[in-house]
Each structure stands twice: as C-alpha cells, then as structure tokens.
Amino acid sequence: MARVGLVANPAAGRDIRRLTGGASVVDNRAKRRVAECVVNGLTAVDDPPAVAVMPDKAGIARHTREEAPPGVDVEILDIDRENSAADSRRAAARFREWADVVVVLGGDGTTRDVALEVGDVPLVGVSTGTNNVVPAPVDGTVAGACAAVVATALVDADAVTRRHGLVEATVQGDGTSLTGLAAIEVTDTSFVGTRAVVDPSDLVGGVVSRGHPAEIGLPAVAGCLGPLAPDDPGGAMVRLSDPDAADRTVRGLVAPGLTTEVGIAAHRRLDWDEPAVFEVADGVIGADGERAVELVDATVEVAPVADGPRLVDPRSALDAAGEAGVLVRDAPTLDD
C-alpha cells in the first residue's frame, strides 16, 4: 500500500510578524481543518494511501485520525515529542524510509526542517505559516489529491516534481553553518531575539535560491532585479543599502504584511557552490526569514547548493492525472 506522511506544525503562522506587520494568521483550528481536508483529498484515487501524522500538542493529529473518511487508514506517528521544530525534523527522518510522499502544513521554516531530513521523498507544501515563499497557497483537499496520485504512482513523480535549490552559510574559522531553503539573510541586529525579521532596515543582504516580485522577503527583492525560478541553476546575491543614498532602489514585499523601499548596493547571479562573502561586525545570519546565529567580527560565505528537496507542483500533478484518465470512472453496464 502507498503511504503518505503528514507534518502539521502547530507553531507555524504564530510569530510576532502577525502583530508587527499584519501578516496572516492560521490558527490551530484552521490547521485541523486543513489536515482533515488533506486526508479527504486522498480519496480521489480508488485505493487511498495509508497516512501517518506527526503528533502535536494542539490536537491536529488526533483530529485528523478521528475525522478520517472510511477507507483511509490514519495513524499517529510514534515519536518522542518536544513541542519544537525538532518534532518536524524527527518525523521527516522517519518518513524518509516510510513514506512515498510527505505533505507539510507550515511556512518556510517548517518546510525547510522537513526538506533537510526527508531525503528524496517528494514534498507537497501547504502554506499555513507566516513566511510563505516555498509552500503553495493550495487548498488542503487539492494537496491531498496531489499526494494520492503521486504516492500511488498513477502519475510519474519525476514529471510533476521539481528540484528546489538550497542556500548554505558557513562562518569562517569556527565552522558554524546554516542552511536555508529560499534564502540566507544577513542582518545588522545584535541579537536573535524573537527570531522573525520584522524590520526591513535590519537587512544587510544575503543569497537566495529563488526570486520573484510576488514572493516575500529577500527573494522578493532579488526577483524585482531579475526573476529566478526555484529549479533554475544557482542563485543570486543581493547587498542592500540606505535607499536615500542608493543609485537603485526596489520597492518590494520585504517582510510579511510590509511593503517598503530598499537600496541596492550590489546584485549578481551565482553558480552552484559559488560563495558570496559577507563581513559581519555585529549581526545575525538567518534562514528563510528567521534569525538564527549571532556573530561578532565574522566572515561568512554564503552559496547556493544543488540537490534540495523534490517539490510536487500541484497543477502539474493533477494535469497529469487528468490526462491519464485516472480520475475518471465509467459507470457499470447491465452486463457487468
């Protein structure tokens, strides 16, 4: 039987940016409903996959199991729970050998945590976080149907997935490293604090694996300077400056709920593993909109790297299912 892993992060979409920037809020009641819809979407195929759900303190997993439709076997994954990002990583590590597809409910941070542990298993990302560059704003039922047709091999997974790049930062001297899915950001704030990057003026620059004006954060800025598709080779480096003194400026979606003007000091495309170097006197490096590592008088090399996660494209998956006729059933005749 085909198998689908489900990771629903109860903490996603609940950081300070929902207050400071007007970012969207997805509460846990809504996440329970989205997870329920994902499981219902699995019934788009005749023989729905079995499901294992990451346990959580908000009752999302329990609700998903209790509300599962007939014919769908749902179990709660047996792992130690810390009520932190470690839960997503631990569940993803288990799914690496167990699941045919993993569905992730969360933002960029949760999707990154899962992507770094799940190996080559295809991911269906559903946007329920604050910073949502990578996970798609797709209905849970659609996400479930996509997972079903890929997990059961009714469509060719290679044809409906695309390989997303990563960005890696390495601090010279002490070997500290950090991996981002869409971006590594350098800020001139002294402390990690609430983690979320809420003030665009704090951004010094960074490296992105993708860029488009319709995205959020540094990928939006890079995208205004030149679009970069998620599966394009390499990445792009951006250095920011005071917009009042810059030769070029970009007005972009620099943080959730915030549109602002930033100055551009430098921008260039990078090949795989080609580093951009940042000198950090007193600041923080972060991944995907979340500050992570405090630095003083440090040199940081940031480079795009290949072999990131395989992301399912929902429209491509269901286009392929429609073309293959796997969602069509002929009515029985009197002779049957």
Which DSSP symbol is given to 243?
T
Q: Which one is predicted more confidently, 190 or 87?
A: 87
* Position 148 confidence tier, pLDDT thresholds 50, 70, 90: very high
Percentage of residues in the chain having pLDDT higher than 90: 76
The gap from C-alpha 64 to its chain's centroid, in whole angstroms, comes to: 22
The CA-based angle 118-121-122, given to 5 degrees, is 120
What's the pLDDT score for residue 211?
96
Task: Express each pLDDT in 103-114 by its tens digit.
Answer: 999 989 999 999
Residue 195 has pLDDT above 80, yes or no: no
What's the pLDDT score for residue 10?
87
Mean pLDDT value of segment 68-80? 96
Which residue type sits at 153? A
Q: Which of 100-104, 250-254, 310-314 has the lowest mean pLDDT?
A: 250-254
Residue 74's closest CA among 46, 96, 94, 55? Answer: 55
Which DSSP symbol is given to 230?
T
Residue 194 has pLDDT above 60, yes or no: no
* Position 193 confidence tier, pLDDT thresholds 50, 70, 90: low
> Taking the CB of residue 24, how many other CB atoms lie within 10 A of it?
15
- pTM for the complete prediction? 0.90
Q: Which one is predicted more confidently, 160 or 131?
A: 160
Residue 78 token pair: 């047996």
Q: Which one is predicted more confidently, 86 or 25?
A: 86
Mean pLDDT value of segment 151-161? 97
Task: Express each pLDDT in 7-52 by its tens digit.
Answer: 998 876 544 444 444 555 678 899 999 999 999 999 999 999 999 9
* Position 248 confidence tier, pLDDT thresholds 50, 70, 90: very high
What's the pLDDT score for residue 16?
43
Give 182-203 as a DSSP string.
SEEEEE--S--TTSB---GGGE
Residue 207's closest CA among 149, 285, 132? Answer: 285
What's the pLDDT score for residue 17?
43
Percentage of residues in the chain having pLDDT higher than 70: 91
Taken in order of first residue, the domains within the chain and their CATH numbers are: 3-163+309-324 (3.40.50), 166-305 (2.60.200)
Instruction: Map tokens 């209790």 to a residue.
Output: 66
**Is there a contact between 127 and 104 (Cβ–Cβ < 8 Å)?**
no
Residue 157 has pLDDT above 60, yes or no: yes
The whole-angstrom separation of Cα 232 and Cα 212 is 12
Which residue type sits at 270? L
Mean pLDDT value of segment 285-294? 90
